[in-house]
């Protein structure tokens, strides 16, 4: 209903599948995911790129989808929390580790936290504690005090290392 | 200690993975922000730029006639509603009526086809204000020429949980006063061997639940339905019932998963405004606040405390006196209860024979203050636990030994007329001391501290539940307790599974729908495991009793001949599990048994508090003397939880609470400059992040099954926050010899204190020369 709004065509890969749609030029990636594509796993909190709740991966790099224009994702690969679980229901090692280590409470930061951790492990499969803390510093959790999240990322790294040796 | 101390647990006391694990790690867990109703419109709120002003006029015509706008609602449109609400005092209009009392107060709302259209219409609302003199601190609010925030008297909220008188609206800005007194304080201070005295300030803090306030309301002739991120749906229901003058049965609150609460989502927040929007727009309306708006909705009370504490020649604390002024902001919200609790919590957890605590909360033209994790305890534990260390230093005692000698003992009636102390603080302190390495040598610039707190917790015991055993032996718990992340959807099924002898995976939870789930007063004050847990336990046992009678009928024997075994019954050779009992009784593979329980202030819950929430925290800090920056070298938590139904969840509460307390100890503070909140955004409000993680963390639980809850459990969840600011202040003093009586201990404050000390030392040096 906005005066003079501009509709743009948008094509990108979402969790490995092609998406073709139209959106308003000023819509953020989070708005497109949540409002148009019904992917509500990506959470929006601070809206100023500080809390990390809305983290998704664009071409493998973590971005804050609350301030990232959907238009910028055209032609790129977008990965969200909904794409991590395998079709047979097997969870990604990070998802399983978050459960095993009690690495969430309210769960509102969790999708962004897991996506940020995935970006780290994809790049650096065996991070040190200091590297985890440095990489994850852009994600806020108000419930857990971060301790179990660090443990979960370490556990997932271990599981993924074993899996890759198989 | 209970005679039936059970230890051979099958499900309880195990760290079973969270029931909500899979939905939360896959992004499928529903929060209100994710919900849409058919035909739903969106609201946005226009807020006052002034701290205190008369509303001369509001012209909504231009905004209302914009394309896509359904309606605009202001304080002038509320005829037919009772627009004032409040848990303690009904002083809060759902939109400003006639005047505004803080910068950020909702003045109007636009309801439109989408959020952006609503937002863009806000600037077309023309409001004319006439600014009034404003007050921002208790001191200003108490001044003789202070403007009055509230001119008229208010009704008491029907759900008052405090015993005090409503002082609001009686010609002053006093919101609430509370006082406790025993012994003879004046006499005790005269006889004291040593006294410490000081003034302390605990800041305004923002809880930052990462899911900001959000609600969807649908008001029709069928009643009011609201989906909300509320912690206490039944209390919100009560406010809405009064606003719309409806029977309870026509107001329905539904709460899915809540994205963090920490007290900030307790009691009514935006629900009346959303419901009024729906009422006027005649369609479902969603209102989701931004974080900046959430920061203009609720904060913690900041507190100015003068305190003195006295000790006798033997090292026994003999007296404590305090005067507290709390800044409650523009509306009472739940602050009257916070005032009462912080008054009580000045004492604990010490047995002090002479006590006088006077507390007064003031209305000011700032964001309304309300509950915040710990409920007034952190505000007074900063002075309380600071003075324990200050006093120990004064008489040359080790502060740890000094605490051991003075803490309330198990069973001691240290607080007149209250429940005798039900924790083991000596053991808690010993555990913390061992974990932190109390006696170990420390590098220069490092300091350690151990501090404790004991809160009259559990709120009020009024809780009911239904436990439904189905024909296949699976179970559904109907609970009014909200899942905020604390783990109630895991702990409650553990209790039912333990009692009924059924697999944990077969116990499901339906929660927080006031039209379906039985009444539960609140989800806060660390009460759910103790009270709802007890209700689930009793309801499970009541279901078993019913199934024993049914089994006797099925087996054609006397009820007395039926023996209950795990997961079923036995009679001679015959053995039936619950599924067999139910299906044979109904002669169909269907039907169910409903176990019920009603908990009230009677029996083992007749004495308040429901339990004493006790905990210790220990810290080791290092201080950079060049910059004043504090580094957390180590953090230790000790939760005195009676019995942890799920130890990992209990420890999770402790580390979470301690981290919030650490935030306030180190950097969290809402700052007002004049009428404006100047750091009202997450960009400017500094929160604990990964990089603030203490270098080492140890979590401990003390489990003596000494609580009044199921199997001797007590609540946790708040206690580890309370002592953290004091702990950090004490550790800094021991590290670098400066006593800071204000939280947070920012690098600037520490640096200034160090410079001040240098200056003093050089003066002393010169004097000696």
Chain B positions touching A83 (Cβ under 8 A) are: none
Beta bridge partners of B251: B224
Cross-chain CB nearest to B485 (options A51, A84, A143) = A143
Instruction: Pick the residue from chain A with its C-alpha nearest to B483.
Output: A106
For residues B453 and B465, state if they share a domain: no
Residue A151 lies in a domain: yes
- Within 244-273 of B, beta carbons closer than 8 Å to A belong to 257-262
* Interval B157-214: pLDDT, tens: 866 555 566 676 778 999 999 999 999 999 999 999 999 999 999 999 999 999 999 9
Contact B207 A50 (CB under 8 A): no
Q: Which residue has the tokens 């010993």?
A: B430
Task: Tell me the helices (H) and strands (E) count for chain B, helix number first.
Answer: 19, 32
Q: Is B486 on the interface with A (CB under 8 A)?
A: yes
Contact A144 B682 (CB under 8 A): no
Half-sphere exposure of B205 (CA within 13 A, CB side): 33
Contact A106 B683 (CB under 8 A): no
For residues B453 and B498, state if they share a domain: no
For residues B598 and B476, state if they share a domain: yes
CA–CA distance, A80 with A82 (Å, rounded to integer): 5
SS3 A9: strand
Both tokens of B431, joined, read: 């555990």
Q: Is B648 on the interface with A (CB under 8 A)?
A: yes
Both tokens of B288, joined, read: 């989701």
Residue A143 lies in a domain: yes
pLDDT at position B766: 80
Q: Are strands B285-288 and B41-47 parallel, antiparallel or unpaired?
A: parallel
Q: Is B65 on the interface with A (CB under 8 A)?
A: no
pLDDT at position B159: 61
pLDDT confidence bin for A5, thresholds 50/70/90: confident
Which of A64, A108, A148 is the best substitution to test chain B (most B C-beta atoms within 10 A)?
A108
Q: Which residue has the tokens 């029996």?
A: B603
For residues A75 and A121, state if they share a domain: no
For residues A36 and A70, state if they share a domain: yes
Percent above pLDDT 70 for chain B? 98
Q: Who contacts B146 (Cβ-Cβ below 8 Å, separation ≥6)?
A: B135, B140, B173
pLDDT at position B1: 41
Tally of structural domains, chain A: 2
CA–CA distance, B744 with B691 (Å, rounded to integer): 18
Query: Which residues constitute the domain of residue A53?
Result: 7-83
Cross-chain CB nearest to A142 (options B34, B114, B209) = B209
Contact B120 A2 (CB under 8 A): yes
Q: Is B658 on the interface with A (CB under 8 A)?
A: yes
Residue B690 lies in a domain: yes
Q: Is B660 on the interface with A (CB under 8 A)?
A: yes
Q: Burial level of B426, CB count in 10 A (0-12/13-18/19+)?
A: middle
Q: Is B668 on the interface with A (CB under 8 A)?
A: no
Q: What CATH number has the domain bearing residue B697?
A: 3.30.365.10
For residues A60 and A78, state if they share a domain: yes
pLDDT at position B161: 54
Last residue in a domain, options A52, A83, A114: A83
Q: How far is CA B324 from CA B301, B307, B425, in A?
A: 11, 8, 26
Which of B15, B22, B24 is the best substitution to test chain A (most A C-beta atoms within 10 A)?
B24
Contact B697 A145 (CB under 8 A): yes
CB atoms within 10 A of CB B357: 23
Q: What CATH number has the domain bearing residue A116?
A: 1.10.150.120
Cross-chain CB nearest to B484 (options A43, A91, A106) = A106
Contact B209 A106 (CB under 8 A): yes
Beta bridge partners of B508: B476
Last residue in a domain, options B605, B623, B658: B605
Tally of structural domains, chain B: 2
HEC states along B450-485? EEEEEEEECCCCCEEEEEEEECCCCEEEEECCCCCC
For residues A53 and A97, state if they share a domain: no
Residue B245 lies in a domain: no
Q: Which residue has the tokens 């636990």?
A: B385
Average pLDDT over chain B, rounded to an integer: 96
Cross-chain CB nearest to B24 (options A46, A107, A134) = A107
* Interval B686-697: pLDDT, tens: 999 999 999 999
pLDDT at position B320: 98
pLDDT greater than 90 at residue B94: yes
For residues B693 and B636, state if they share a domain: yes
Chain B positions touching A98 (Cβ under 8 A) are: 21, 25
* Interval B288-316: pLDDT, tens: 999 999 999 999 999 999 999 999 999 99
pLDDT at position B88: 86
Cross-chain CB nearest to B690 (options A40, A108, A136) = A136
Instruction: Pick the residue from chain B with its C-alpha nearest to A99.
Output: B21
CA proximity to B602, closest of B531, B658, B537, B661: B531
CA proximity to B582, closest of B542, B544, B538, B535: B544
Range list of β-strands (E), B566-644: 568-571, 574-577, 592-599, 611-623, 630-640
Last residue in a domain, options A41, A61, A83: A83
E strand or H helix at B732, and its extent? helix B724-736
Contact B682 A50 (CB under 8 A): yes
For residues A68 and A108, state if they share a domain: no
Contact, B192 vs B353, CB < 8 A?
no
Residue B279 lies in a domain: no
Task: Verify cis geometry, omega within 30 degrees of 0, for the bond prior to B349.
Answer: yes
Last residue in a domain, options A83, A106, A127: A83
Contact, B566 vs B757, CB < 8 A?
no
- Within 466-485 of B, beta carbons closer than 8 Å to A belong to 484-485
For residues B656 and B588, state if they share a domain: no
Contact B682 A53 (CB under 8 A): no
**Distance from A75 to chain B by nearest Cα, in Å?**
25
For residues A57 and A13, state if they share a domain: yes
Query: Which residues constitute the domain of residue B444?
Result: 403-458+609-755
Chain A positions touching B656 (Cβ under 8 A) are: 105, 142-145
SS3 A46: coil
For residues B735 and B629, state if they share a domain: yes
pLDDT at position B619: 98
Residue A2 lies in a domain: no
pLDDT at position B508: 98
Which of A106, A118, A130, A146 is the best substitution to test chain B (most B C-beta atoms within 10 A)?
A106
CA–CA distance, B718 with A156 (Å, rounded to integer): 30
pLDDT at position A3: 53
* Interval B616-630: pLDDT, tens: 999 999 999 999 999
Instruction: Pick the residue from chain A with its C-alpha nearest to B721.
Output: A145
SS3 B623: strand
Residue A27 lies in a domain: yes
Which of B31, B121, B210 is the best substitution to test chain A (most A C-beta atoms within 10 A)?
B210
Residue B564 lies in a domain: yes
Last residue in a domain, options B588, B605, B622: B605
Q: Who contacts A62 (Cβ-Cβ below 8 Å, separation ≥6)?
A: A55, A56, A115, A116, A119, A138
- Within 697-726 of B, beta carbons closer than 8 Å to A belong to 697, 699
Contact, B521 vs B459, CB < 8 A?
yes
pLDDT at position B2: 44
Contact A45 B210 (CB under 8 A): yes
pLDDT at position B427: 98
Residue A53 lies in a domain: yes
Q: Is B122 on the interface with A (CB under 8 A)?
A: no
For residues B629 and B736, state if they share a domain: yes
Give chain A's end-to-end CA distance (angstroms, integer).
55
Q: What CATH number has the domain bearing residue A77?
A: 3.10.20.30
Chain B positions touching A107 (Cβ under 8 A) are: 20, 23-25, 29, 257, 259, 485
For residues A20 and A40, state if they share a domain: yes
pLDDT at position B664: 98
Residue A1 lies in a domain: no
Contact, B9 vs B711, CB < 8 A?
yes
For residues B598 and B637, state if they share a domain: no
Mean pLDDT of B715-721: 94
pLDDT confidence bin for B153, thresholds 50/70/90: confident
**Distance from B81 to chain A by nearest Cα, in Å?**
32
For residues A157 and A120, state if they share a domain: yes
Cross-chain CB nearest to A99 (options B18, B485, B652) = B18
Chain A positions touching B18 (Cβ under 8 A) are: 99, 102, 104
Cross-chain CB nearest to B117 (options A2, A34, A39) = A2
Chain A positions touching B32 (Cβ under 8 A) are: none
For residues B466 and B574, state if they share a domain: yes
Residue B631 lies in a domain: yes
For residues A132 and A70, state if they share a domain: no
Residue B168 lies in a domain: no
CA–CA distance, B577 with B575 (Å, rounded to integer): 7
Contact B659 A145 (CB under 8 A): yes
* Interval B662-684: pLDDT, tens: 999 999 999 999 999 999 999 99
For residues B559 and B614, state if they share a domain: no
For residues B545 and B421, state if they share a domain: no
For residues A79 and A11, state if they share a domain: yes
pTM of the model: 0.97
Task: Choose between A127 and B152: higher pLDDT.
Answer: A127
- Within 266-325 of B, beta carbons closer than 8 Å to A belong to 290-291
Last residue in a domain, options B605, B623, B657: B605
Contact B208 A40 (CB under 8 A): no
Mean pLDDT of B550-579: 97
- Angle, helix B747-768 to helix B724-736, in steps of 10 degrees: 40
**Distance from A142 to chain B by nearest Cα, in Å?**
7
SS3 B312: coil
Contact B693 A147 (CB under 8 A): yes
**Distance from A166 to chain B by nearest Cα, in Å?**
25
For residues B439 and B417, state if they share a domain: yes
């Amino acid at each position: 209903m906005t005066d003079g709004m501009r509709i743009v065509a948008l094509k990108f890969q979402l969790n490995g599948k092609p998406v073709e749609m139209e959106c308003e030029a000023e819509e953020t990636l989070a708005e497109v995911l949540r409002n148009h594509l019904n992917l509500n796993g990506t959470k929006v909190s601070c809206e100023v790129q500080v809390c990390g709740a809305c983290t998704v991966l664009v071409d493998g790099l973590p971005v804050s989808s609350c301030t990232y224009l959907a238009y910028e994702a055209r032609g790129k690969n977008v990965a969200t929390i909904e794409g991590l679980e395998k079709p047979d229901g097997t969870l990604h090692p990070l998802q399983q580790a978050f459960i095993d280590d009690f690495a969430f409470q309210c769960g509102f930061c969790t999708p962004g936290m897991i996506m940020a951790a995935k970006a780290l492990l994809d790049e650096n499969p065996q991070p040190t504690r200091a590297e985890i803390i440095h990489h994850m510093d852009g994600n806020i959790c108000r419930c857990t005090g971060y301790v179990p999240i660090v443990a979960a990322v370490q556990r997932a790294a271990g599981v993924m290392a074993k899996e890759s040796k198989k | 200690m209970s005679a039936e101390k059970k230890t051979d647990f099958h499900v309880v006391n195990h760290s079973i993975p969270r029931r909500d694990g899979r939905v939360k790690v896959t992004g499928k867990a529903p929060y209100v922000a994710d919900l849409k109703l058919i035909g739903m419109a969106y609201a946005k709120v226009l807020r006052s730029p002034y701290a205190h002003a008369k509303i001369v006029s509001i012209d909504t015509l231009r905004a209302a006639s914009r394309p896509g706008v359904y309606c605009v609602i202001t304080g002038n449109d509320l005829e037919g509603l009772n627009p004032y609400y409040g848990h303690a005092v009904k002083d809060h209009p759902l939109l400003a009526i006639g005047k505004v009392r803080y910068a950020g107060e909702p003045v109007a709302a636009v309801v439109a086809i989408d959020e952006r259209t609503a937002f863009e219409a806000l600037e077309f609302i023309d409001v004319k204000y006439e600014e009034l003199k404003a007050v921002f601190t208790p001191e200003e609010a108490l001044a003789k020429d202070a403007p009055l925030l509230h001119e008229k008297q208010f009704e008491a909220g029907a759900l008052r949980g405090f015993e005090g008188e409503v002082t609001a609206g009686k010609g002053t800005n006093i919101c609430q006063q509370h006082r406790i007194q025993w012994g003879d304080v004046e006499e005790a201070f005269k006889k004291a061997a040593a006294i410490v005295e000081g003034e302390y300030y605990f800041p305004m803090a923002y809880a930052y639940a990462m899911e900001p306030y959000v609600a969807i309301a649908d008001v029709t002739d069928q009643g009011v339905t609201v989906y909300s991120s509320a912690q206490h749906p039944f209390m919100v229901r009560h406010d809405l019932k009064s606003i719309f003058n409806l029977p309870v049965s026509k107001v329905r609150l539904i709460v899915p998963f809540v994205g963090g609460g920490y007290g900030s989502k307790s009691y009514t927040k935006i629900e009346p405004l959303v419901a009024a929007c729906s009422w006027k727009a005649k369609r479902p309306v969603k209102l989701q606040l931004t974080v900046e708006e959430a920061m203009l909705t609720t904060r913690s009370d900041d507190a100015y405390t003068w305190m003195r504490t006295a000790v006798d020649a033997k090292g026994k604390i003999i007296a404590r006196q305090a005067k507290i002024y709390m800044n409650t902001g523009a509306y009472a919200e739940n602050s009257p209860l916070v005032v009462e609790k912080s008054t009580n919590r000045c004492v604990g957890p010490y047995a002090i024979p002479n006590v006088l605590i006077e507390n007064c909360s003031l209305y000011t033209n700032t964001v309304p203050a309300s509950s915040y994790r710990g409920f007034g305890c952190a505000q007074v534990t900063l002075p309380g636990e600071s003075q324990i260390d200050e006093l120990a230093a004064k008489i040359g005692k080790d502060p740890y030994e000094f605490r051991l000698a003075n803490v309330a003992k198990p069973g001691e009636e240290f607080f007149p007329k209250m429940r005798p102390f039900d924790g083991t603080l000596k053991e808690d302190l010993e555990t913390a001391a061992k974990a932190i390495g109390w006696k170990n040598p420390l590098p220069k610039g490092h300091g350690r501290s151990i501090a404790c707190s004991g809160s009259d917790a559990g709120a009020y015991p009024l809780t009911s539940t239904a436990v439904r055993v189905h024909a296949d032996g699976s179970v559904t718990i109907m609970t009014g307790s909200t899942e905020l992340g604390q783990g109630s959807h895991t702990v409650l099924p553990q209790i039912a599974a333990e009692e009924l002898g059924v697999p944990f995976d077969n116990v499901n939870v339906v929660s927080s729908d006031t039209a379906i789930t039985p009444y539960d007063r609140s989800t806060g004050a660390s009460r759910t495991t103790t009270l709802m847990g007890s209700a689930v336990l009793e309801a499970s046992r009541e279901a078993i009793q019913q199934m024993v009678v049914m089994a006797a009928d099925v087996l054609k024997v006397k009820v007395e001949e039926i023996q209950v075994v795990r997961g079923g019954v036995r009679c001679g050779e015959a053995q039936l599990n619950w599924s067999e009992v139910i299906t044979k009784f109904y002669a169909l593979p269907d039907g169910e048994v409903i176990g019920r329980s009603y908990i009230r202030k009677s029996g083992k819950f007749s004495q308040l508090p429901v339990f004493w929430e006790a905990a210790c925290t220990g810290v080791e800090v290092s201080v950079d003397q060049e910059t004043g920056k504090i580094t957390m070298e180590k953090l230790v938590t000790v939760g005195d939880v009676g019995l942890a139904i799920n130890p990992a969840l209990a420890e999770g509460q402790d580390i979470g609470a301690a981290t919030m307390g650490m935030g306030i100890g180190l950097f969290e503070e809402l700052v007002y400059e004049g009428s404006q909140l100047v750091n009202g955004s997450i960009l400017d409000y500094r929160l604990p992040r990964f990089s603030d993680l203490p270098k080492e963390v140890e979590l401990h639980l003390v489990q003596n099954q000494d609580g009044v809850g199921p199997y001797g459990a007590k609540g946790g969840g708040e206690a580890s926050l309370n002592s953290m600011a004091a702990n950090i202040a004490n550790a800094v003093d021991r590290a670098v010899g400066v006593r800071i009586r204000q939280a947070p201990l920012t690098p600037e404050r520490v640096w200034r204190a160090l410079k001040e000390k240098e200056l003093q030392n050089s003066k002393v040096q010169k004097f000696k020369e």
